[in-house]
Amino acid sequence: MKAKRLAARLHYQQGQTNADHVIAFALYKRGLYAESLELFSNVLSGYQQLADTANISRVYMDMAAVLHKDLSDQTKVIAFMQKAIQTGKKLKNDSVLSLVYFNYCNFNANLSADSVNYYLGKSREIASQYNDEYMLALNHSKQVYLLNRKGQKPEVLPIAKQLLASAQRMGNVNLEVYALLILANYYHENDLQKALGYYNQICDVAQESGDNELQIYYLTAALGRATKSGNKNEIIKAYATLEKAMIADRENMKRFIGDYVRYNAIADDNKLLSAENARRALWLLGISFSAAIIVLAIYLTMLRRSRKAKEQIDALNNVANMQIIAMEEVKHEAIREEQQRLGQDLHDGLSSSIASIKHQLETLSMDTDDPLQKKKLVAIQLEIANAYDVARNKSHEWFNTADGEQEHTFEQRIKLLTDTALPDTCYKKNIHIDDDALQHASMDVRIALLRIVQEAITNIIKHAKAKKVGILIYAEIDKLIMVIQDDGTGWVHKTSTNVKSGMGLQSIRRRVQYLNGKTAIRSDTKGTEIAVSIPLALS
């Protein structure tokens, strides 16, 4: 039982099965045949799982021994022994088959003399092959038994004495008792006193071995023989020894039953523990599986949100870039309009003046008779004609610049930006922009404001988890003000002076600083507000 508990703690299946094998054999020796058979069945299953062929053969043989002792169905006994033989034949380096063949003869009373000799011969052959001294001695004991049955008394004595010497040398109690019993029976008819001496030796050996059952069995036989001899001293001695042995056996039986009860309790506890461990393992498996599903769902949700946010930001960037390009085009259109105006002024003003001067020079040249003077006036006319052609060509070049498309209002541009990145199905938007306030704002200022809105919306998509977004642009006395608000998660409670900035917020601050403006950022659990002020003088 201690070995089994230790093996169970170490999860050592071979050790647990070996311990059960010993316990099953102890139950058999104590006469608990049904309990022994039940445990032997479990042991057999354990050895089969371990593919332990030698012990499988031994268990079949032990089960046959229990049934033979219990005088059960002889057919089952022979069937178990045949299974033991078939299993033992698979072994290549084990002498267990020698014992199987020997017991096959012992358990099968219907074997013919030739069959008995055959199986005993096989047993001796295997025992000799492996130099198994115990099995060779057992075969000698069987040889004596057969000689006794045949009445060949002279041949019994030397073999019995040789068997006793071998048993004492090996320290094998069963063999020693069997050899003493053969000698006692040998002298029983001719020398009763000598026979009683051998019986007393049997009792002493049994007592020294601690096997009370064996001691009681032979003490009872000795008492019968002492009673038959009429020797009162031997009878009294046998009674006293037998009573003492029976008292000790009762005590041993109590201890054994107590151990067996504890063994069953341990077995039940092990079953309950195994069931509890199985439930815990199932529970842990369920929790692990659920956790894996939850983690996977969270990961997929975050991945979907990340992709959606990326798509929104990409769309925002595309629209913002298109708006910037459009505004840059408007800026260039304004330059072209200025060129057209200059070309008109050049044509109407400078070109007309040059043409007038040229006409006056022609008149002076016609009125003068001085050849030298006339030559100088002609030279000046040529220079004036060249200047006129240059001015006329440049004025036509500037004037022919194509008309630009009409500019969208800034509010329309902001709404186009927010509608692309913040769909109405997910966000509630409140946008108010005073286009009059932007009348005197340069195109660079408008582009900077559009970029700031782009950065703010990017932060809202990536971090804020907002539902409401507001954008307000208006003019004060000397400032252009823009406020962007959302109702998202915000940051921890920090003032605008020490809010930890990401790249987006840093970009907003840099753009405002470039325009000599100021930035104020407020963020808490109720949302975030970005306020930007830019001097109108710069605009």
pLDDT of residue 414: 81
Q: For residues 175 and 138, is the Cβ–Cβ distance under 8 A?
A: yes
Domains and CATH numbers, the chain: 1-92 (1.25.40.10), 309-399 (1.20.58), 410-535 (3.30.565.10)
* Bridge partner list, 482: 473, 532
pLDDT of residue 404: 37
Give φ, ψ of 535 to 5 degrees: -60, 135
pLDDT of residue 19: 92
Q: For residues 191 and 207, is the Cβ–Cβ distance under 8 A?
A: no
Query: Is the four-CA dihedral 285, 286, 289, 290 of positive or negative sign?
Result: negative
pLDDT of residue 71: 67
Region of 37 on the Ramachandran plot (φ > 0 left; ψ -120 to 50 alpha; else beta): alpha
pLDDT of residue 55: 92
d(Cα 302, Cα 312) in Å, to the nearest integer? 15
pLDDT of residue 56: 93
d(Cα 317, Cα 504) in Å, to the nearest integer? 13
Helices (H), ranges, 346-409: 351-367, 371-399
pLDDT of residue 451: 85
d(Cα 493, Cα 535) in Å, to the nearest integer? 30
Tell me the three state secondary structure of residue 468.
strand
pLDDT of residue 399: 58
pLDDT of residue 239: 78
For residue 167, give both structure tokens. 């048993």
pLDDT of residue 472: 92
Q: Letter for the amino acid at 2?
A: K
pTM for the full model?
Answer: 0.48
Spans of the chain, pLDDT less than 50:
401-407, 493-500, 538-539
For residue 266, give both structure tokens. 């341990």
Name the residue with tokens 């698979």.
90
CA distances from 438 to 275, 434, 449, 482, 539 (A): 79, 7, 11, 11, 9
Tell me the three state secondary structure of residue 426.
coil
Q: What is the dihedral of CA 126, 130, 132, 135, to 10 degrees?
A: -10
